[in-house]
Structure 1
Amino acid sequence: MKLILSLTLIWALSSTAGALQCLSCTNDQCANPPSLTCSSETMCATATFQTNSSGVTVSQIVKACAPSSVCAATGSQKFSFNVGVLQTVASLQCCNTDNCNTETLAIPSAQPNSLKCFTCNATTSQCNSQLQCQGVEDRCVKFNVTNGATNSSVFGCASANLCTLNAKQSFLPSLQSVGNITSGPSCCGTSLCNAVTTIASDAGCMSLLLGVLIFTLRFF
């Protein structure tokens, strides 16, 4: 009996010893955030988002446990996605010690860069308008979505790390309203390469936006 109790105690201790404690909060709650015990295969993360939709800007701070698919490495990462009428930029930092996600990150710069990509005109549904990419957006993207009974194409700019991110749990919160992806997405790295008829595809881009880019930290 003592042996069984000893083995049970050892198992209980070993099964909880690796559990990581992370701060868990959003926005104003992050002034005095509580701590959360994370599940296995996760890290602590802090993220700051800014979404601009038709001239309305909304910012969000998130601190939480994050899956390894998002926290591919420790350190700071910057993400950006832009379809003209909608742009989301985000800073993300992961770490792997208890309650290490204390920092509140600055919003990434959105200054124009040298890349231009095609985007779609909401009025005409033609995807031949040129969009000036900004900040870390160094890839052109395109994919098709359904929203109810409506099928449409989405063209725009994105940061290269979104093309390699395993986004089955998804990433950016603002695109939830865009719809469900039915084909693509595809990424390419030269100006106006995401034309309607041709696009050079990055293999890694197939994982981009598969969950329509809803940020996973909100669900852990």
Structure 2
Amino acid sequence: MDLQISVFLLFILFTAGHSLSCYECMGLTGSCTRQTVKTCPSGFSQCMSTTTVAQAGEVSNKVKTKDCAPVCQSGSLNFGTGKMTISCCNTDKCNFQDAPDPSNVPNGNKCFSCDGQSCTNILSCSGTEDRCIKATATYGGQSVSVKGCASKSICDATASISSVESVSCCEGNLCNGAPSVSQSFLFLCCSLLSYFLLH
């Protein structure tokens, strides 16, 4: 009987003190070769891996990141000038593999997107992007809008983004609103991307 109690108490000590461990890295040149193992802080219950491809004219840049996350949803997000895939898992060092590159295979869905001056561009969604997304915020007294394509799982996770005034997703071609003009959409795009990278 004493042996069973001792084993039980030992088990509780091991499980109570166990924190999730995830790989951590940021590859600004398209690869994440220098990975370190990180013990996640309290409240961070998932590991994530992201691959982001940003396009500015003819210049394309790929960034890969890995880290701990408090909440994470696997999926895809596409604003036209930037695409991101997110892979999430919840066991020790499960984010060893890089998130896949964003898909370039159109899936037939179309959404409005913004280019910094207007939100009249029509974006062909790809891969698992089965929703249109629209977000707005006020920055420096100016309304900022971003529109694009997203996976359903990403849309389900946007309810907790505190840095923007509104985020909405919808189903159907071009359902993310009538075109609107925005002077500076990069701030909002960076806020959304940093949310998915850091949370």
Q: TM-score, normalised by structure 2?
A: 0.70
Return the match for 1:116 from 98, 105, 110.
Answer: 110
- Residue in 1 that maps onto 2:67: 64
- Residue in 1 that maps onto 2:135: 143
What is the CA-CA distance between 1:59 and the residue it aligns to? 1.3
- Residue in 2 that maps onto 1:153: 145
- The residue correspondences of 1:70-89 to structure 2 (distance < 5 A) are 70=72, 77-82=74-79, 84=80, 86-89=81-84
Distance of aligned partners of 1:115 and 1:148 in 2 relative to their CA distance in 1, 3 Å threshold: same
Distance of aligned partners of 1:105 and 1:37 in 2 relative to their CA distance in 1, 3 Å threshold: same
Distance of aligned partners of 1:135 and 1:13 in 2 relative to their CA distance in 1, 3 Å threshold: closer
2: CA distance, partners of 1:65 / 1:109: 24
What is the CA-CA distance between 1:60 and the residue it aligns to? 1.6
* 8 Å contact from structure 1 (residues 91, 108) kept in 2: no
1: CA distance, partners of 2:75 / 2:149: 14
What is the CA-CA distance between 1:33 and the residue it aligns to? 2.3
Q: TM-score, normalised by structure 1?
A: 0.64
Secondary structure of the corresponding residue to residue 157 of structure 2:
coil
Q: Which amino acid aligns with 1:65?
A: C
Secondary structure of the corresponding residue to residue 165 of structure 1:
helix
Identity %: 32
2: CA distance, partners of 1:30 / 1:122: 30
What is the CA-CA distance between 1:166 and the residue it aligns to? 4.5
Q: Which amino acid aligns with 2:156?
A: T
Distance of aligned partners of 1:156 and 1:14 in 2 relative to their CA distance in 1, 3 Å threshold: closer
2: CA distance, partners of 1:22 / 1:119: 34
Distance of aligned partners of 1:129 and 1:105 in 2 relative to their CA distance in 1, 3 Å threshold: closer
- The residue correspondences of 1:25-104 to structure 2 (distance < 5 A) are 25-27=25-27, 30-41=32-43, 42-67=45-70, 69-70=71-72, 77-82=74-79, 84=80, 86-96=81-91, 98-104=92-98
Residues 98-157 of structure 1: CA deviation (Å, up to 9, x unaligned): 32322123303122221122334644x4x4443322332221222322232322433332
1: CA distance, partners of 2:57 / 2:138: 21
Q: Does 1:195 align with 2:177?
A: yes
Residues 172-204 of structure 1: CA deviation (Å, up to 9, x unaligned): xxxxxxxx533x32221111222329xxxxxxx
Where in structure 1 are there 5+ consecutive unaligned residues? Answer: 1-8, 72-76, 171-179, 198-208
* 8 Å contact from structure 2 (residues 52, 82) kept in 1: no
Q: Which amino acid aligns with 1:185?
A: V
Secondary structure of the corresponding residue to residue 137 of structure 1:
coil
